[in-house]
Amino acid sequence: MRVGIIGAGAAGLMCAATIFETHPDAEIFLFDRNDGLGKKVIISGGGRCNVTTGILDVKEVLTKYPRGGKFLSSAMFRFPPSAVIEWFESRGVPLKTQDDLRVFPVSDDGHDIVGAFERLFVDPHFHILLKSAVTGVKKRKDGFAITVKGNPDPMIVDTLVLTTGGQAYRHTGSTGDGYAFAQSLGHSITPLAPSLNAFFTRETWPKELSGLSFESAKITAKRTESPSFTGPFLFTHKGVSGPAVFALSSLVAFEKYDATDPLLITIDLFPTQTVDSLRAKIETYTTENPNKQFSNIIHTLVPKSLAELIVRELNISETKRGNQIAKKEMLKTAQWLKAIPLSVVQRGAGDEFVTAGGVNLNEVDPLTMQSRLCPGLFFAGEILDIDGYTGGFNLQASWATGHLAGENVY
């Protein structure tokens, strides 16, 4: 049995390893246009590689996917985060779970994750074909023909697995070629959009707060269903970023917005308090500090740079003291802190971590990852119409679907 795998990212690596461990007589041909394995795996998590999530309840894990959670169920129960953790640790890569339930190698080096596969792939059953840009695939009676750039003779394999990823991080080789391969074999591709990206805003004042972060804020998009997400975020020199922003971006991945039709969002810095309770707190601080400048009073609630900006944005005189502040100004301050308005005009170019959309899930068997349209063809990873929030969920989906495909290639 000759198995061809196109794409040496997380799904492709795990698929190859699983085939070898469950079908040791298979000849495995792993193609990748890069000069090394797992380029995107290595740079994920800022180079530390957020391997998976520390959430061990599979049902809860499946709620972390805006698209594809139901489809993932079989793969996830078959190879859950606990199994992923055990897989790497049993192969010499100790992992650690942070307080935020993100799982990283103890070394904080993504190379160690890929190294677990490199050590396995020295076996002669593996044929690692790097710098091999696949230009086309065809179904034949005897299997599949894979054409590689610069090589006039196609390679024939019995079974084909497409693990080419999406089209995010294009410099790592995720150029979307796999969608064309899937279509040439009869599959349809759902609309594609970037997900898990930063927001660039029309307002320029976030630049003044660049680097200022908050552990928990509720960010809401003012569109039809008003999707929202609560979590950490930070201001950047062009807008806002961080986990809560990335999650919200995935919920509005297919929304159209630009400078002429911006996406209006609000940021609630005090999601556990009401406007009235926050106003009352401000009033108490103001009464207790009648001679303090109002911006310094607000500084008891938020960092000084933001307190000074609030006063300016609400057109309150910077010299006003506590005993000069009207109750309506206190209310306006509380309302602003509960719904900081921003106009998103652009997705953070190049910041998207995953692609929303992909191979139509109705055309793939979730119990095996085999195509329902083309026998012998399998899919795994981001090429599918599956994407999750930040926090290790996308790599977990790739490990799980790659593992399931690898178990079923025979």
Q: Residue-wise pLDDT tens for the chain (410 aa)?
A: 999 999 999 999 999 999 999 998 999 999 999 999 999 899 888 899 999 999 999 999 999 999 999 999 999 999 999 999 999 999 999 999 999 999 999 999 999 999 999 999 999 999 999 999 999 999 999 999 999 999 989 999 999 999 999 875 544 445 679 999 999 999 999 999 989 999 999 999 999 999 999 999 999 999 878 999 999 999 999 999 999 999 999 999 999 999 999 999 999 999 999 999 999 999 999 999 999 999 999 999 999 999 999 999 999 998 999 999 999 999 999 999 999 999 999 998 555 578 899 999 999 999 999 999 999 999 999 999 999 999 999 999 999 999 999 999 98
Superfamily of domain 2-193+352-408 in CATH is FAD/NAD(P)-binding domain (3.50.50.60)
What is the C-alpha separation between 121 and 116, in angstroms, rounded?
Answer: 9
Which H helix or E strand runs over 98?
none
- Report pLDDT digits (tens) over 354-374: 889 999 999 999 999 999 999
pTM of the complete model:
0.90
Residue 224, exposed/middle/buried by CB under 10 A (0-12, 13-18, 19+)?
exposed
CA 302 to chain centre: 29
Q: Are 392 and 102 in contact (CB under 8 A)?
A: yes
Beta strands, E only, 149-227: 155-157, 159-162, 193-195, 199-201, 213-221
Could you tell me which of 224, 174, 218, 167 has the C-alpha nearest to residue 195? Answer: 167
- Report pLDDT digits (tens) over 370-400: 999 999 999 999 999 999 999 999 999 999 9
Question: What single-letter amino acid sits at 46?
Answer: G
Give me the residue spans of the domains in the chain: 2-193+352-408, 197-351
| pLDDT at position 349 | 56
220 phi-psi bin (left φ>0, alpha ψ -120 to 50, beta other):
beta
**Biggest alpha carbon–alpha carbon distance for the chain:** 86
- Report pLDDT digits (tens) over 86-99: 999 999 999 999 99
| pLDDT at position 171 | 46
